[in-house]
Structure 1
Amino acid sequence: MTLFWISTVALVVVACLMLAIPLRSKKANIDAQLRDDLNKALYKDRLSELAIEDDEGLVENQQDLVSDLKQSLLDDIPKQEKQAQSHVSPMAVFIPSAILIVGLSYGMYVTFGATDKVKNWQEVSANLPELSKKLMAGSAEPMTEDEMQDLTLALRTRLHYQPDDSTGWLLLGRIALANRDVTTATDAMENAYRLEPSNTDVQLGFAQALMMSPDEMDQNRARGLLTGLIKEDYVDLRVFSLLAFDAFEREDFAGAARYWGIMQRLIGPDDSRYEMLTRSIESAEARLGETSKKMGQISDNAVAVSITVSPEMAANPTSFLIVSAHTADGAPMPVAAARYPVGTFPRTVVLDDKDSMMEGRKLSDLDGLMIRARIDSDGNVSTREGDWYGESQPGKLGDTIEVNINQQY
């Protein structure tokens, strides 16, 4: 605040100096002097002319003409004196003008400068350590909405001046996650991850933010981060929770139940969350049963594909599962195809007419078909190097066809 007032005083002083310089160096008004010099020159020239005219006998009363000429020369003297008397001192102009500059400058700042908001911003910024401790402590009394807004403002201010503070970015990202502000959360967590890519808390926060994104690539990146965290010596329960909810959203109910089961084993039956996890597992298993039942009632215009994988295959969590239906002779061009997140195995998917790829030719038009399944590791269907794949025996619509992914290109 002191720096601000010093700066404003300096600016006002500069403005006053800019006013004083032209007043101090103002040129003297020499119009009167120039007029006097001109009149004297004209007077002398006229006297010379009168002398010549008198010698030539052209002038009868030379003295009268000289008297008139002198009188005309003296006519300007009262005006000059009057002008001298009306001269204004530079200080008489400078002092009121300087007062006006100071009054207008600070008056307009008080009126339009939002001094109350600036003061509140400075108080909030100074209160950042206390607000941060309250948030991180997780006290019984939760922070109010106003306190969260103050903390966000203080963090943004600090990060503006200290952009390499990974802890600040992590804290800002967590606040944004609590407020469901996906854009701010993702940007803040990405900055924290850029500064500390090996920090497990940062990785988890970044994965959580990416998981909220509607973009499929962001979600795949989040799964990759979470899968990497599973391999650590200590795994935060939130990692399994995120993986479980993600699997449930993708209708991978077997995977969701498995992750929730791991959480149960980690916390033990005495934990208050144990029963909640039990209900979640039951819900996933019920949905899995419904899906299996639907698979057993496949329409005559669709085909169920039961997919298993070789024990040697290790799929990257960012990979995709591509399932395609071909004519029974194994023609390379698929009649229908679908792409899914890699998920967990074994799993079952269903292809029908909505997955048809060629106009005028539907999956339901086939008398017989075979299924190919491939784990696409790089997201580019035109490249196959390193991908795992498998294909089925010929089958018919309405059947459940089994495919084992056990070969690698």
Structure 2
Amino acid sequence: MTLFWTLAGALMLLAFFVVLVPLLRRRPASASLPGVSQDAVNLSLFRQQMAELDTDLANGKIDSAQHQSAKLELERELLHDIDDAGAAAAEHATRGRWLLPLLALAVPALALAFYQATGTPQIIPRLAASATQAPVHGSTGEMPPLDVLAERLAARMEQNPEDIEGWMMLGRTYFAMGQPAPALKALQQAYALAPDNLDVKLTYAEALAANNDNQLEGQPAALISEVLAADPDHINARWLNGMLSFQRGQYTAAIQSWQRVLEQIDPASSDAEDLRGLIAEARQRGGLADEAPATVAAVPTSAAAPKADKPAAATPAPAAAAPGQIEVNVAVAPEFAESIDPSTAVFIYAKAAAGPPMPLAAQRVTLGDLPMTVTLDDSLAINPALKLSSFPTVIVGARISASGQAMPMPGDPQGETGPLNTERASAPIQVLIDQRRP
């Protein structure tokens, strides 16, 4: 019996040695590369991918919309990877403090319990129970929502306030969430750290404008000029400089800036199409319409002028609204009218078919008011510098806002027309809210 316990004790010591030595030698995976953390590896890979995206944009392989979408996705993935790596490191560090003394007691105790249980039917359920109780970290593999990632990054930036790219990423994340005020605060930090970085400077200028009714006059204009002085062909700076000239009424200068951007991007891209629309609008406002192709082709055929050989009295044309006015009749599909609270806000708007994305005129009503007819005109302008009467081709729409905010959100029920010529469209224009915003 003594020999048995001696052998059992020796075996327990051997098992204790086998378990503890690997634990004592364990190091984080990143320790195989001295001075390199997992966060640094993730950040290096992110920079590589961002450089490839910038190269594809410069070569015309993707347009700026695709570039911005891919950039946001990379930033979200980086936020997720950095957070997971930090959590894993914290878990490893915490586990190391209590696991060794626990094992010092657990190994012999478990060995004795195993011996006493050998040959009994209870051993199988015990092992099964112990296996099912083992915690699994991150088993779902789901990416947290954008607001959660923003909170985590904001907390991380408090610990590392010198990270320029982190502040830039946080600012863009807030922009993607439709929160320009916190975006400006984050980008102020980036600008304070790197006032000479062209991309930081330009993004900061956009944040300033976004918090001032999209007006580029003042400090944003000065920052744009500084970027162009350092890089005259900077695409985003040229685009913003054209918009600044447009806001100032300097339409020839706006056209020149946007023409230089057109020379650097894919002529078949959606960005190029939008720019051509802006250039046409600038020519029309500046009395330079004869220098550009007519834009009638952008108007639906149903709104085209009558043929010259058709007698004017044969089919009377519908009465058109007064210049700068659009009458809109808005209705809602039954599935939305029956399932949404009648007090929910509804925004009825008109926006440029080719131009700034913000509405030119908008009116707020409630769902219970529909169907109804409203008149959109310059008195309902969102930005006094961008009036409805100044844009000959517009898109008219209506959107139900569950949040009560003017900022569109995914899933909002909405309805929109195609491009309409405001000088020829009949009144009222019919809009049906019958689909959800993607």
> TM-score if structure 2 supplies the norm length?
0.33
Q: Which has the larger radius of gyration?
A: 1
> TM-score if structure 1 supplies the norm length?
0.35
Tell me which of the two structures has the higher relative contact order, counting C-alpha pairs closer than 8 angstroms and 6 or more residues apart.
2
